[in-house]
Amino acid sequence: MKTIEPARLAGKSTEYADMLLLRFGEFTLKGKNRSRFEKTMLRHVKEIVKPYPMARLIKEYGRIYVELNGEPAGEMVEALAKVFGISSISPVKAVKPELEEIVEASLRFIEKVNPEPGTTFKVNARRVWKDFPHGSQEMNRLVSAPLLKTFPALSVDVRTPMLELRVEVREQYAYIFCENIPAVGGFPLGTNGKAMLLLSGGIDSPVAAWSSMRRGLEVECVHFFSYPYTSREARQKVIDLARVLSRYAGRIRLHLVPFTEVQTSFAGIGQDNLMITLMRRAMLRITTKLAEREGALALVTGESLGQVASQTLPSMNVIGRATDLPLLRPLVMMDKADIVELAKQIGTYDLSILPYEDCCTLFMPKSPTTNPNLRIIEKIEATLPGYAERLAEAVEAAVTVDITPYGNESPDDEADLISSAKEDWF
């Protein structure tokens, strides 16, 4: 079956539209949560349309209409297609519920779409307002006849048309549209609880963050840095990544955790190959404490099975046992190429590939173990002097910043928190 790809249509029908119809995704199935989800969606959509003062929102059961009132449809479609919970968007023409108006608007719509010769189509009319004098079937004929006459490129195929012109006749307006632009889908923001995400400066963890948010999780990010081994640029890169993520969330809370003391405590053990395992477990322990403090119920990482030594199944097993909280790994079965593709779409890729050192790359041993032994690791941790205190100190010394899409927040603004970190670095 050949249908007209949304990419080829996109933009064409927006030119003529004066409304956008936003459809919700799979969460509409969840009966009793529905109204809460829809309220969250409406709030998020309101936030997105704020920069367009003429736009007006109309909430209906299971959908939202955006009245454009002259605001740019194409630009708004692009922004709204990123809102979690919206499954598709149709640019809609709204006219008076009168036959001539409907036919006229349909002609104009198809003219904008400018179908190529051989395009099959059908009209799919629905009479919702029962006092309208023509029934749904009759409307299909009444609208398609003049279209066929005007556009020789069109022929009818009622079963699998390439182009479907939808007409919905309601009491106030008749809505006409022919395009279903796919949007991001998922669940509305924060409707599935809160988790702590371990955000490195790499490619994967920002994608894991986005994937979590798409499932309705609110995420707070936790980043470990190793002053003076990691640079100011490396820290800025993480802040910038959190800022890109905040475009999807409105605001992202970022905890910056000083990690040098913890890392150096492993240096004297003489077991370089276990370094990464020990560091990852320490990160999970600290993040678990932060999760308890912040009321989060899970941890999220950007791990993907087999990607590096610390992401073999035996490594994941030993690392994962450092926390009692559910450890979510949204990318665990994904291929790197697909993760990279997503990172590009989300807008984090270009930042992620900036070359600044991460705290783990610096301490990276020549041959990290792919098969750590849990008992040995636990023994090392139990015999490290003052280890528990160092972990607790790292939690205490964490600096928290709330990042917004258009702000320029940085820890520099948090004067009273700076003293708890390293002054000359911040």
- Contact residues toward ligand ATP (CB under 6 A) are 198-200, 202-205, 222-224, 283, 301-303, 307-308, 310, 358-360
DSSP letter, residue 356: P
In the list Mg ion, ligand ATP, none, the entry touching 198 (Cβ below 5 to 8 angstroms by class) is: ligand ATP
Query: Phi and psi dihedrals of 177, rounded to 5?
Result: -155, 160
Q: Is 172 annotated as a binding residue?
A: no
192: its two tokens: 């599935």
Please report where in the chains the tokens 């109204």 appear, as a residue. 35
Q: Is 223 annotated as a binding residue?
A: yes
Q: Is 198 annotated as a binding residue?
A: yes
Indicate left, alpha or beta for 270 from its phi (over 0: left) and psi (-120 to 50: alpha).
left
Q: Which of 378, 415, 383, 381 is nearest to 399 (CA)?
A: 415
Q: Which is nearer to ligand ATP, 67 or 341 (CB)?
A: 341
Write the CB contacts of 415 (distance below 8 Å, at least 6 apart in sequence): none
Which of 79-87, 200-208, 293-301, 319-327 is the region at the interface with Mg ion (rule: CB under 5 A)? 200-208
Rule CB under 5 A: choose which of 14, 200, 226, 323 binds Mg ion: 200
Q: Which of 93, 91, 148 is nearest to 123 (CA)?
A: 148
The answer to whether 278 touches 286, Cβ cutoff 8 Å, is no
Q: How many residues bind Mg ion (CB under 5 A)?
A: 2
Q: How far is the CB of 60 from ligand ATP (least distance, A)?
A: 40
Q: Is 134 annotated as a binding residue?
A: no
- Contact string 220-239 vs Mg ion (x = CB under 5 A): --------------------
Q: How far is the CB of 377 from ligand ATP (least distance, A)?
A: 16
CA dihedral 262, 264, 268, 273 (to 10 degrees): 80
Rule CB under 5 A: choose which of 23, 79, 157, 202 binds Mg ion: 202
18: its two tokens: 């004066």
Q: Is 186 annotated as a binding residue?
A: no
Q: Which is nearer to ligand ATP, 308 or 392 (CB)?
A: 308
Q: Are strands 19-24 and 86-95 parallel, antiparallel or unpaired?
A: antiparallel
Q: How far is the CB of 302 from ligand ATP (least distance, A)?
A: 3
Which of 199-207, 317-325, 372-380, 381-389 is the region at the interface with Mg ion (rule: CB under 5 A)? 199-207
Q: How far is the CB of 365 from Mg ion (least distance, A)?
A: 15
Check the CA dihedral 395-396-397-401 and report its sign: positive
Is the omega angle on the peptide bond into residue 314 within 30 degrees of 0, that is, cis?
A: no
Q: List residues forming the annotated binding site for ATP.
A: 198-199, 223-224, 280, 302, 311
Q: List residues forming the annotated binding site.
A: 198-199, 223-224, 280, 302, 311
Q: Site residues (CB under 5 A) for Mg ion?
A: 200, 202
